[in-house]
Amino acid sequence: MRYDYLIVGAGFAGSVMAERLASQLNKKVLVVEKRNHIAGNAYDEFDEHGILVHRYGPHIFHTNSKEVFDYLSQFTEWIPYEHKVLAKIGNELYPIPINRITINKLYNLNLKTDEEVKNYFESVKEKRFPILNSEDIIVNQVGKDLFEKFFKHYTKKQWNLEANQLSPSVCGRIPVRTNDDCRYFTDKYQFMPKDGYTKMFEKILNHKNIEVILDTDYKSILDSIKFDKMIYTGPIDYFFDYKFGKLPYRSIRFEFRNLPQVQYQETAQINYVDESVEFTRVIEHKLLSQQNSDTTTISFEYPQKDGEPYYPVPNEENRNQYLLYKKETEKFKNVIFCGRLAEYQYYNMDQAVANTIKVFEDL
């Protein structure tokens, strides 16, 4: 069988690209996925207790892009969902992103206006210039104490690096607020796919020109299929047989537990920002999909070095190593590198979709 395109990976990048090529250009596409399911890290499924769980950590869809929202809306209905996260320090819970409620509770204050909170941050922040890393970006806004309480240990656990060894963009993902908005994201569109992500991916990939093979590393079939072009969404260092060394990717061990109680925690996500707790966060899955059930399933996240590569690790050293690989891609005119692992970019889902659509349009 001859294909126009071989697509490596059935996550957002691979699946959206397959859909575009098949539906817009009538191309014959083979998608090869090494795991035993589609949807990449957004994969969800019902566990044995009937609860929809996100197998690779909580995936909350949020975007300001109408284009991305409209595109995905062809494949799913949505339920409104605004994510809220609490950070646990000792036995107390505080809103994260840091906001007025966080400050008042933590320091026993009674700040009433945005202006008062702004003045508070002014009085505690340490000027850092230029902003070179993830410590600078937080300390420059809220000072050392808040940095140490909410960011220092969580960051060390998540990345096994100090915040000052990571690019500002990592902790810079988390805003600092002067109001009492407790939502994790403020994007215009915040939803969960009504029947889950996997169902949405089934629809994305449901096209007569698209064939999907699971449980298969693309390298094992290269000799047995014919194709004109490849879209590669796996780790870029693997493509090149690690010729410039292994790029650091961060992994996580997810430990799932079902409990015989209706609800375990106040919000879908609680971040354990203390040094003394080994895991980073606990997710209560039914609260993401707003499912009713007599029991509840939670998952603990233990970051680790080895295992499935979930996160690129953003800092200058890794970026330089990635650029060696990127330069090498120029020699492969028939391969397009796209997605979080192939571009070594800490993309959210909407960014992965927007980027893939752009790559498709530039083909």
Residues that bind ligand UDP (CB under 6 A): 87, 96, 150-151, 154-155, 158, 170-171, 173-174, 271, 273
Rounded to 10°, the helix 12-25/197-205 angle is 30
Which partner, ligand UDP, ligand FAD, none, binds residue 360 by CB below 5 to 8 Å per kind?
A: none
- Interaction between residue 298 and ligand FAD (CB under 6 A): no
Pick between residue 117 and residue 283 the one whose CB is nearest to ligand FAD. Answer: 283
List binders of ligand FAD among 117-156 (CB under 6 A). Answer: none
In the complex, what is the shortest distance from the CB of residue 248 to ligand FAD, in angstroms, rounded to a whole number?
15
Pick between residue 15 and residue 102 the one whose CB is nearest to ligand UDP. Answer: 102
- What Cα–Cα distance (Å) separates residue 171 from each residue in 147, 159, 167? 10, 11, 8
- What Cα–Cα distance (Å) separates residue 124 from each residue in 94, 113, 120, 170, 260? 19, 17, 7, 22, 45
Tokens of 279: 């895991």
Q: Contact with ligand FAD (CB under 6 A): which of 6, 7, 30, 32?
A: 32
- Interaction between residue 325 and ligand FAD (CB under 6 A): no
Pick between residue 142 and residue 170 the one whose CB is nearest to ligand UDP. Answer: 170
CA distance 355 to 363: 12
Q: Which of 254, 334, 329 is nearest to 298 (CA)?
A: 254
Q: Are 169 and 132 in contact (CB under 8 A)?
A: no
Q: Contact with ligand FAD (CB under 6 A): which of 3, 5, 12, 360?
A: 12
Reduced to 3 states (helix: H, G, I; strand: E, B; else coil), residue 336 is: strand
List binders of ligand FAD among 244-273 (CB under 6 A). Answer: 252
CA dihedral 160, 353, 81, 346 (to 10 degrees): 10
In the complex, what is the shortest distance from the CB of residue 82 to ligand FAD, in angstroms, rounded to a whole number?
12
Tokens of 305: 């070095």
In the complex, what is the shortest distance from the CB of residue 12 to ligand FAD, in angstroms, rounded to a whole number?
4
Pick between residue 155 and residue 209 the one whose CB is nearest to ligand UDP. Answer: 155
Tokens of 179: 């109001």
In the complex, what is the shortest distance from the CB of residue 146 to ligand UDP, in angstroms, rounded to a whole number?
11
List binders of ligand FAD among 336-355 (CB under 6 A). Answer: 339-341, 347-350, 352
In the complex, what is the shortest distance from the CB of residue 82 to ligand UDP, in angstroms, rounded to a whole number?
15
Tokens 């070179």, residue?
132
In the complex, what is the shortest distance from the CB of residue 322 to ligand UDP, in angstroms, rounded to a whole number?
18
Which partner, ligand UDP, ligand FAD, none, binds residue 203 by CB below 5 to 8 Å per kind?
A: none
CA distance 221 to 30: 11
- Interaction between residue 104 and ligand FAD (CB under 6 A): no
Tokens of 149: 């309480």
Tokens of 89: 């320090």
Q: Contact with ligand FAD (CB under 6 A): which of 7, 13, 68, 298?
A: 13
- Give bridge partners of residue 45 from the DSSP assignment: 53
Which partner, ligand UDP, ligand FAD, none, binds residue 249 by CB below 5 to 8 Å per kind?
A: none
Buried-exposed string 40-63: b where 16+ CB fall within 10 A, e elsewhere: bbbbbeeeeeebbbbbbbbbbbbb
List binders of ligand FAD among 161-220 (CB under 6 A). Answer: 217-218
Which partner, ligand FAD, ligand UDP, none, binds residue 191 by CB below 5 to 8 Å per kind?
A: none
